[in-house]
Structure 1
Amino acid sequence: MIWYACYGSNMDLQRFLIYLQGGELEVNGVIKPYRRCDNDFEGPRETEPYIIHRKLYFAKESTTWNNHGVGFISTKKDGRSLTYARLYLISEIQFRHLFASENGRKTTNIDFEVINNFKFQDFDYNFYNRIIQLEDNYKGYPVLTFTNKENLPPNNPMGRYLQLISNGLDRVHQLNDNEIVAYFKKNNVKMPKSSLRKLLTVENNPKNDSK
């Protein structure tokens, strides 16, 4: 088993379950299908809050999110940085499937022994091309996440993407709307505070996370 530490849209449980169990994600009227993890489509065995001491930023142009940026973290530790994350306890099979899906692939050659020995593994992928082992043993299992191995130029995320992150910040870290807005602004989201607050209203962002 593995603790997967997510800090982007997968902080929303329902969005994350689409990767494991299959389904569709609709963004601005465009529907993207996702295939389930055929060998293990059980939901996460546990989930809990987590803090990553690396800088959060938004970059790349994601076709899923209308060519807006998605979340990444810096490759180097930074004790002054605080990125709110969510842990999911999943199987190695599920982590392989998730990592492949996040990079638009059906399979991937993750070597967990390499990751355990060197604390990271790099890939020749465009978006998420570095797996990082954040902790060797957290409650009995390693903590893994992924990001890009380069220092990427910023690209602002779209509102719906931020809404999904905010669901995790609300449900898992119990942040209020003002704290969520301050968190986004601290991480260089180029959007007026008034617009960010509007995104977080119930009518614009119904929170359906059941865990």
Structure 2
Amino acid sequence: MGLPQIWYVAYASNLAMARFRCYLSGGRPAGGSRDYTGCRDPSDPARARGVEVPGGLVFAEESRVWGGGMAFYDRAAPGVVAARAYLVTTEQFGDVAAQERRLPPGGEFAEDLAGLLPDVESLVTIGPGRYETVVRLGELEGAPMFTITHHDVGSLRLAAPAAAYLQWISIGLRESHGYDGARIARYLGAAPGIRGAWAEAEIEALTQQTASET
């Protein structure tokens, strides 16, 4: 039996609704270098909720969209990740996951993943790549929660993220959790990949710039 709707749990730039809409309805996020196709169904999520999930946030490797490190969810790490849950259809989730891997919405990967979701009890890894693993994070209001990450985050090469990427994450943390600049700086500044590369004062300055622009 299929799932009519699931919660897609975002923990990085997709925390910001405007950035997530690029995955849903297409477009290029400010500061990014990629145009997104969008989902077959470009509708906004039915609902959005700020959530916290156990685990850690890690920045590693190099993004072809932003330059600098990309964010990954490490389910084995101690701590709590500030995330945002979007209630979407399984088709939309499959299309978002496909775009994360630069595959076409509605293609074989998207269809196969959407069909697999009802049977995912913990995690499933589909093929090679960096965002190739879907993790189930329990339930919220009767619907399952899923996120996308790498199967072995500890094996990735740590790397500091670019300013534009951090700005989108900061916008999302303000929107979904009401964090102020100081709290955003403490939260992000403690993440592997950022720690020692970005000072908290530098991160807070970015958030102040972001707040004045939004």
More strand by share: 1
Distance (Å, rounded) in 2 between the aligned partners of 1:181 and 1:138 = 28
CA 31–17 in structure 1, closer or farther in 2 if over 3 Å, else same: same
Q: Which residue of 1 aligns with 2:96?
A: 98
1:205: Cα distance to partner? Answer: 5.9
Distance (Å, rounded) in 2 between the aligned partners of 1:201 and 1:184 = 15
Distance (Å, rounded) in 1 between the aligned partners of 2:28 and 2:212 = 18
Runs of 4+ in structure 1 deviating by more than 3 angstroms, as ranges, are 202-205
CA contact (8 A) 1:58 1:154 kept: yes
Gaps of 5+ in 2: none
Q: Which residue of 1 aligns with 2:15?
A: 11
Gaps of 5+ in 1: none
Once structures 1 and 2 are overlaid, which stretch shifts more, 88-97 or 168-177? 168-177
Distance (Å, rounded) in 1 between the aligned partners of 2:210 and 2:99 = 31
Q: Equivalent of 1:112, from 111, 117, 123?
A: 117
Distance (Å, rounded) in 2 between the aligned partners of 1:176 and 1:203 = 11
Q: Percent identity?
A: 26
CA 174–25 in structure 1, closer or farther in 2 if over 3 Å, else same: closer
CA contact (8 A) 1:134 1:144 kept: yes
The alignment of Structure 1 onto Structure 2 pairs a total of residues equal to 198
TM-score, normalisation: structure 2: 0.87
Distance (Å, rounded) in 1 between the aligned partners of 2:21 and 2:34 = 14
Give RMSD over aligned pairs: 1.7
Partner amino acid, structure 2, of 1:89: L
Q: Secondary structure at the match of 1:24?
A: coil
Q: Which residue of 1 aligns with 2:71?
A: 71
Q: Equivalent of 1:142, from 141, 144, 150?
A: 144
Distance (Å, rounded) in 1 between the aligned partners of 2:141 and 2:25 = 25
Q: Which residue of 1 aligns with 2:52?
A: 51
Q: Which residue of 2 aligns with 1:174?
A: 178
TM-score, normalisation: structure 1: 0.88
1:206: Cα distance to partner? Answer: 2.1
CA 97–103 in structure 1, closer or farther in 2 if over 3 Å, else same: same
More helix by share: 2
